[in-house]
Amino acid sequence: MAGVMKLMCSVLIAAALIAAIAPPSEALGCGEVVSYLGPCIPYVTNRGALGACCGGVKGLYSAAKTTQDRQTVCICLKSLARSYRGVNFGKAAGLPGKCGVSVPYKISPSTDCSKVK
């Protein structure tokens, strides 16, 4: 029994040390982008009103703090645009302005995401 307790304590200490020295994983992923912008899909596909979209746009804008985050958002937006039929790219590009945020790149399938800073 004492051996099992020592082993468990050693494993817990090792796990705590690894967690303490590992860099935090806070980078945005496409899943989060979809989660934020899901309410915008009816609007940009001409099937609904703006509704709760601006809350998602503002949330995503404030979550994308680093260049890597902004590039990920750009890549995900381009991927999303290709995966949904009937996306009105004019409406998609106008979302930041309608929602009161300033995005440092044009929301378009032709945007070069590697140049987003």
Separation of alpha carbons 16 and 42, rounded Å: 45
More confident residue, 39 or 7: 39
Domain ranges, ordered by start, for the chain: 28-115
CA 85/CA 71 separation, integer angstroms: 23
**The pTM is what?**
0.71
Q: 28-115 falls under which CATH superfamily?
A: Plant lipid-transfer and hydrophobic proteins (1.10.110.10)
Encode pLDDT of 34-81 as tens digits.
Answer: 999 999 999 999 999 999 999 999 999 999 989 999 999 999 988 888
- The predicted pLDDT at position 108 comes to 82
- Please compute the mean of the pLDDT values over residues 91-105 and round it to a whole number: 90
